[in-house]
């Protein structure tokens, strides 16, 4: 007698919430000048420690090309890498990241390693093109950092070992490793004991949560023929 496959056992009742990692970056909450005194590691991207004119140290997401000893200006100054300026003072087409959604929220958009956006138009507000190619209109007083987030090639490095891949997938809340259905026995999976799936993977849109597994309400399946 067979059993329910793993995807069915998850269903709706067994939700898994991915662990939340605390980010060390601090919001833009003051204007002034500072000097980069150190660059430290954070999960997913480096941070730079900036010593302000009053002696206080703050943490900011490090842009690509920044180095210790560089001068950083927040809220004012010329548009150069590392400076934080309102959107209205940033030229169109210049790469930006860590953009505020509303003035004073500290930066909500484009914070992952290697990513950047740019301003495509200015009117009552500023139109931003995100890395997903979508556009968003924001208040012209929202702050943004000029440049692109460092560590862009972080995910290009091969995993090399299964243990490293396991840790990465665990941090994302993903099940790993996953055994393919055709590699199982017939009692463990409908595809088991075969070299290819023995039944259709298409599932009705109205199927119950435990049975809604596979290609849900698919219009077509299989590889497309080359013309």
Residues 142-190 pLDDT 10s: 999 999 999 988 888 899 999 999 998 888 888 888 898 899 998 888 8
**pLDDT number for residue 170:** 85
Mean pLDDT of 191-200: 86
**pLDDT number for residue 4:** 77
Residue 108 CB contacts under 8 Å (≥ 6 apart), including other chains: 99, 100, 101
Strands, E, within the chain: which ranges? 32-42, 45-52, 57-61, 71-74, 84-86, 96-97, 118-122, 126-129, 135-138, 143-146, 202-203, 215-216
Distance of CA 76 to the CA centre of its chain: 28
How does residue 195 score in pLDDT terms, banded at 50, 70 and 90? confident
**Domain boundaries along the sequence of the chain:** 32-146
Distance CA 45, CA 61 (A): 8
Mean pLDDT of 183-201: 87
Distance CA 225, CA 127 (A): 41
* Whether pLDDT at 213 is above 80: yes
Read off the pTM: 0.71
Q: How many residues does the chain have?
A: 227
Distance CA 35, CA 48 (A): 10
Q: Which CATH class, in words, describes the domain spanning 32-146? A: mainly beta
65-85 per-position pLDDT tens digit? 999 999 999 988 899 999 999
**pLDDT number for residue 117:** 96
- Other beta carbons within 10 angstroms of residue 223's beta carbon come to 5
How does residue 19 score in pLDDT terms, banded at 50, 70 and 90? low
Q: What are phi and psi of 99, to 5 degrees?
A: -90, 140
Distance CA 174, CA 167 (A): 10
Q: What are phi and psi of 57, to 5 degrees?
A: -110, 135
**pLDDT number for residue 11:** 62
Distance of CA 153 to the CA centre of its chain: 14
- Give the chain's end-to-end CA distance (angstroms, integer): 45
Distance CA 12, CA 208 (A): 10
Distance CA 102, CA 105 (A): 6
Mean pLDDT of 21-36: 71
Distance CA 142, CA 27 (A): 12
């Amino acid at each position: 007698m067979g059993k329910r496959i793993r995807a069915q056992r998850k269903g709706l009742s067994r939700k898994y919430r991915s662990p939340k990692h605390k980010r060390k970056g601090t919001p833009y909450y003051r204007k002034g000048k500072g000097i980069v005194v150190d660059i430290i590691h954070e999960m997913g991207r480096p941070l730079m420690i900036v010593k302000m004119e009053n002696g206080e140290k703050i943490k900011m997401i490090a842009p690509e090309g920044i180095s210790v000893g560089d001068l950083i200006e927040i809220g004012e100054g010329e548009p150069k890498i590392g400076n934080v300026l309102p959107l209205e003072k940033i030229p169109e087409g210049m790469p930006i990241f860590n953009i505020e959604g509303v003035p004073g929220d500290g930066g909500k958009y484009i914070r992952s390693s290697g990513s950047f956006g740019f301003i495509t138009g200015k009117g009552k507000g500023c139109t931003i093109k995100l890395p997903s190619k979508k556009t968003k209109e924001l208040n012209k007083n929202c702050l943004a950092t000029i440049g692109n987030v460092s560590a862009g090639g972080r995910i290009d490095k091969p995993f090399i070992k299964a243990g490293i891949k396991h840790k990465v997938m665990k941090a994302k809340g993903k099940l790993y490793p996953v055994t393919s259905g055709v590699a199982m026995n017939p009692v463990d999976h409908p595809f088991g004991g075969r070299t290819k799936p023995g039944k259709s993977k298409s599932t009705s849109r109205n199927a119950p949560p435990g049975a809604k597994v596979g290609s849900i309400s698919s219009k077509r399946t299989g590889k497309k023929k080359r013309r």
